[in-house]
Chains A and B, each alone.
Chain A
Amino acid sequence: MIRFIGRRFLNILLSLFVLATLTFFLMQAVPGDPFLDEKTPKAAREAMLAVYGLDQPVWKQYGIYLGNLIQGNLGISYKTPGQTVNQIISQSFIYSAKLGGIAVVVSVIVGVALGMISAMYNRKLIDKLAVVISILGISIPNFVVASVTQYYIAAEWRLLPVSGLNGPLSYVLPTLALSALPIAFIARLTRSSMLEVLTADYIRTAKAKGLSPIRITLRHGLRNAILPVVTYLGPMSANIITGSVVVEKIYNVPGLGQFFTNSVTNRDYPLIMGITLFYAIILMFARFLADVGYAMVDPRMKKSTKGG
């Protein structure tokens, strides 16, 4: 188990290094520099370049960049002077994290419940309804969900706040838009694995012992059917992060996603690199947790990793 965790961790470091290098050289390949402006006097431009270390040779810049990175310093934003990338991330990420965290919890609970109900009432009306919901959830893009619900539920019927994140009610619509896809996915995964598990011999045994149906599905069924859902947690966090970019735009949430899109349109390179790496760290961490979780839930994994 420790070996397994160590290997995964090493992989993460390697991936981050590759991504950091890739990001750095891609940014270098972009023609021009952030201070290339006809109005800026030559001397001022050179001074600016010197301040940001952009007059150094590329390899030296790369060295400085990596050195800063190891210390957790992501650099200074070019377009919002006086603010470091670290500051921007720490200020805006709280909003994204809250929203994303709620979306993760809601997705897992609702998705698993929907999938379980669907499997228990296999091929009945409720099941068909759940299947339809999950196919729709996968097929309707989150930005459509977000803008349509925003208009009808918030603007037209005035049931919920239109934008911003003030008070618990304002979280409802963004969460809905964010978790529609993961809910659909988790419901499908749970349904199919639950159907497989429910035909297993040990379920028959449990039934023969006279356990109540609820107890059987929860204790014996769900425990084994939940495995594919655990593996989906990694990709799900990726879905929710990408989703947050649009949802934050539509609901005007001052989160990291907003800054990311803005940094791209502003060509604020340190901010782009910083947020890219930050997202990558979160994603890899989520995948890592999902892997460890999988190893802990699945007894077979534990055995094989212990032995090898």
Chain B
Amino acid sequence: MDNVNEKRRPLPDPSKFVPLKKRDSAQQQMAPSYTTWKLAMMKLTANKFAMGAGVVLALMIIVAWSYPLFTPHNFRDQSLLNTFLPPGGSYIFGTDDLGRDLFARSWKGAQISLTVGILAAIADVILGIIIGGIMGYFGGKVDEVLNKITEVLYSIPYLLVVILLGVVLGQGMFTLILALVATGWINMAWIVRGQIMQLKNQEYVLAARSMGSGGFRILFKHLIPNTMGPIIVTMTLTVPSAIFAEAFLSFLGLGVQSPAASWGVMINDSLSTWQLYPWTMLFPAGLLCIAMLAFNIFGDGLRDAFDPKTRVE
């Protein structure tokens, strides 16, 4: 505790000193150089936690869209003779109060949650890149005006926007995505803006300009591709918050509506029954937690991978 920094990296034992091998050419003595992407991918693949999370996510996406192969039941078919069946038999996750198959419903819910999360994140990125790019590259008055607008919009809490839009447009997946994007793109725009501001005075931009490239060409061909790292990281971390927002609103009855299956709807449906029939909550809540956990860990791994301060071990 008293010497935190010294303990972390112990000095090598001098008795075990091994001289470096003599290298043949100057080229071999240089450390190999990698592109940002390659380096990031190396760091990411070395991170076992993040890779595990990535595998879990991939599996989840595959099962979410292929679940009808594993169950004969439909997610909305009710069967009042088969209510509250425990997991087993043809009902892999059991059934709920209306005899609906929880396996089908849970994975249908995964489809909805993942769609909302991923579509919202992609829309955020597109809007954020365009507006943040313009803000960062052109600067000056344009930046000032857009900055003011985004500041005002950012201060409006997303929950309020979702609820207001839900009242007007009707509750459902589309409204949810719209509301999440309406407030979510701003953060992305600010990140892109900051990145572009750092990059726009680099030599390669000057070179491109002296070759006669126009503003938008420089922006989209030269600057944006170099900001993709932080953008992808932010995107991965947007997905779990969007998934949470979907579940949260559906739980309150303000998002996706029953009989459509969504994790939030299912958890809400199970509130009065799960004490006796725990599987009605276990599966949707468990999948929700796993999805959030996996996205968070994977996003953290990506962030570390793009962080120049971390190294490949």
Contacts and interface: CB of A to CB of B under 8 A. Distances in A.
Nearest to B309: A196
Residue from the set B3, B151, B251 with the largest chain A CB neighbour count within 10 Å: B251
Contact of B4 (A120, A246, A264): A120
A155 B275 contact: yes
A139 B293 contact: yes
Contacts of B277: none
B203 interface: no
A151 interface: yes
Contacts of A267: 167
A22 B128 CA distance: 22
Interface residues of B, number: 41
Contacts of A18: 152-153, 156
Nearest to A283: B157
B152 A122 contact: no
Contacts, number: 119
Given A135-B296, A135-B297, A283-B157, A22 B289 contact: no
A11 interface: yes
A282 to B, nearest CB: 10
Interface stretch (A25-33, A38-46, A65-73, A86-94): A25-33
Interface string B131-164: 0000000000000000010011101110110011
Given A26-B164, A29-B168, A138-B296, A123 B155 contact: no
Interface in A92-136: 119-123, 135-136
Contact of A238 (B157, B267, B288): B157
B21 interface: no
A95 to B, nearest CB: 18
B254 interface: yes
Nearest to A214: B1
A26 B168 contact: yes
A169 to B, nearest CB: 21
Interface in A196-225: 198-199, 204, 207, 213
Contacts of B168: 26-27, 29-30
B248 interface: yes
B253 interface: yes
Contact of A261 (B2, B4, B254, B288): B254
12 contacts: A12-B155, A14-B152, A30-B168, A119-B4, A120-B1, A135-B296, A136-B293, A141-B288, A198-B5, A246-B251, A279-B160, A284-B155
Given A207-B2, A276-B164, A279-B157, 10 more contacts: A11-B148, A19-B160, A22-B156, A26-B167, A140-B292, A198-B4, A199-B4, A241-B157, A250-B271, A276-B160
Interface of B: 1-5, 8, 148, 151-153, 155-157, 159-160, 163-168, 240, 244, 247-248, 251-254, 267, 271, 274-275, 281, 285, 288-289, 292-293, 296-297
